A = this chain, B = another copy of it.
């Protein structure tokens, strides 16, 4: 069901018959058509559009007039092929429904668009092989690639290095990034959570935790600090996916149901923590008096719930901006002073602990 009946092209009402015949015969308008009508060579049209400063004001205006009259839209694919600049940056996220990354995506996209780059979005969640996704992306010859996380198949790593495309990994740290890196230490974040709870006098600490890669590292950090302090029993409700609200409720229920005593619950995300708090409230458990709760991420609601949520604040938008800047710098051939940027994190103490 074609939008246009076959053999009959719509007559753009605003377009006078100034085009060469074949342009009106259904083929798309090309730069040659514009050139012909404007009485210049194709390259001059190209210059008028991409480097207006190289062209006489008169020619410029003439070309622009023809462009708008004919509705010419440059074929960026052709341009990309010849100039070897695709104007595209690819961004890969594990998934976006848990909303941990949306600020980063938003900022990244905004920053790149300001410099004329479009973002190719890759979601690797349901991808058994991130490698396939990356291969498909590299084929499109993006000028930069943003990756979430630092754990990639060796094959992926090799492919990316071989491609010579600027890469920035984000949301994690690694001593040996593929190229550039903007992130923070999840291990230290976990440690900070542990220390905070210990400092508050808690020694019976439960976890309601998601099972993604980075959360796992935070958990390691947390557990190691607890172990250093002689705490080896840490009741944990481990959820398979990066949990949502309801999983927080279930998590607390599971912890309490197991008979373990907990005076504090640490969660791998604020959303989980919110669920834990909801469940606690329904059970008449006071927060923080009976149980302290802390989250991770400092989502927008964290400061405004009651009690407000103690959490780890990440500069999510900053990560996006720095990643964009790093890629842009590399693309434009500028110096990248620091290949590895640690944006750190802030433990924000609020009412829930």
Interface residues of A (CB under 8 A from B): 1-4, 10, 12, 14, 71, 73-78, 80-81, 86-88, 91, 95-97, 99, 102-103, 105-106, 109-110, 113, 116, 118-123, 125-127, 133, 135-141, 158-159, 161-164, 166, 179, 244-246, 249, 271, 274-275, 278, 281-282, 300-301, 303-306, 330, 333, 335-336, 339
Top 9 nearest A-B pairs (CB, nearest first) are A245-B301, A76-B139, A121-B121, A244-B300, A246-B304, A119-B121, A99-B99, A77-B81, A76-B140
Q: What is the count of identical protomers in the complex?
A: 2
| CB neighbours of A77 from chain B (8 A) | 77, 80-81, 86, 140-141
B1, B91, B127, B244: the one within 8 Å of A301 (CB)? B244
Do residues A1 and B330 form an inter-chain contact, with CB atoms below 8 A? yes
**What's the minimum C-beta distance from A34 to chain B, rounded to whole angstroms?**
14
B86, B109, B113, B306: the one within 8 Å of A278 (CB)? B306
**What's the minimum C-beta distance from A49 to chain B, rounded to whole angstroms?**
10
Do residues B110 and A105 form an inter-chain contact, with CB atoms below 8 A? no
* Distance A136 CA – B73 CA, assembled complex (angstroms): 9
Do residues B121 and A120 form an inter-chain contact, with CB atoms below 8 A? yes
Given contacts A76-B140, A91-B121, A97-B106, 13 further A-B contacts (CB under 8 A): A10-B161, A12-B162, A71-B158, A71-B162, A73-B135, A73-B163, A95-B106, A99-B99, A106-B125, A109-B123, A118-B140, A121-B121, A245-B301
